[in-house]
Amino acid sequence: MSFYQPKIISIKSIYALIKQALSGENQDYTQGSIRKAVFLLSIPMILEMCMESVFAVVDIFFVGRIGSGAVATVGLTESVLTLVYSVAIGLSMAATAIVARRIGEKNTDGASKSAVQGIITALSITAAISIAGSIFAADILRLMGASGEVVAMGAPYTRIIFSGSIVIMLLFLINGIFRGAGNASIAMWSLWIANGCNIILCPVMIHYYGLPGAAIATTIGRGVGVCYQLYHLFRGSGAIHILKKYFMPDWAIIKSIFNIAWSGTFQFLIGSASWIALARIIAHFGDTAIAGYQVAIRILLFFLLPAWGMSNAAATLVGQNLGAL
């Protein structure tokens, strides 16, 4: 691959590149300019991570109108939910790496089969998380140091969020599949659609159902995003084409997914553990302190998550070019 020669880039050409990045056109990122490839992949991936940040900010904004106890519930639940995020991110990193490698090898069948095996793995793991989270929702809040009032108010919210953790897992995983295939545009639009639904539904659901309505809105919003992903996945819009025969478990591929995913999961678990520990410490200072801490963390994440867009672009480029060797 060659680098661009230094030259003046016009606003018109930048606009054309941005339009191309958002269009979702199939690109061969093993050929041509590295700089152009990074740009085309980074734009939708950064916007995707911005939308992941918006989820937390939107929930806190609308729930904050209920009271500090409601904000504390959302914050403490999300603190524990970072464990689910860690597993989801680890699996999505594995999916991106394996799918990108197969795409680089021009092995679209292998990429598609690996994608399906990743989905099977995610469904198996999430089933256990969803059941445990829904049964022990109140205990989770108590363990995090929530007051009796917050436990009574927030247990239904926590139960709904954990019961719907399947959509969290699939949203991350399938986006990882699309990123690995080089189609970052679909990954971006899935989160834009999910956030749009959440923004519309959140105030409506809270009005009718109170705090649990926020959990319902968030779960439905993410669910709509997953439906959009599955539509394109089964439609075969890009390099990934799903066939029935791919749904038979392939233990060699599943083992490869675990071998890659565990390190990424462990990396994020370290950060998650510190977040949970801090939330547990802050809980000693009361519901108002928890609420303020959680609002501050979400504002901070809004500026941190987009940085992952560049790292995701690099992961796709490295994977595809390793496969092309």
For 34-65, write each residue's pLDDT tens digit: 777 777 777 777 777 777 767 767 877 888 88
Kindly tell me if the per-residue pLDDT of 11 is higher than 90: no
- Residues 6 or more apart whose Cβ sits within 8 Å of residue 127: 166
Average per-residue pLDDT in the chain? Answer: 82
Q: Which of 22-36, 151-165, 169-183 has the lowest mean pLDDT?
A: 22-36
Instruction: Give phi and psi for 4, each to the nearest 5.
Output: -60, 140
Report residue 111 as tokens: 């990429």
> How many Å apart are CA 95 and CA 260, to the nearest integer?
9
Give the residue from 1, 30, 173, 26 showing the smallest Cα distance to 105: 30
Provide the residue ranges of all domains of the chain, joining segments of one domain with +.
34-324
Q: How many CB atoms lie within 10 A of CB 274?
A: 11
Helix (H, G, I), strand (E, B) or coil at 97: helix
Helices 211-235/184-209 angle, 10° precision: 150
> Cβ neighbours of residue 12 under 8 Å, at least 6 residues apart?
none
pLDDT score at 59 = 79
Highest mean pLDDT among 108-112, 215-219, 264-268: 215-219
The angle subtended at Cα 119 by Cα 118 and Cα 123, nearest 5°, is: 120
Separation CA 220–CA 161 (nearest Å)? 10
Q: What is the pTM of this model?
A: 0.84
Residues linked to residue 92 through DSSP beta bridges, in sequence order:
none
Helix (H, G, I), strand (E, B) or coil at 25: coil
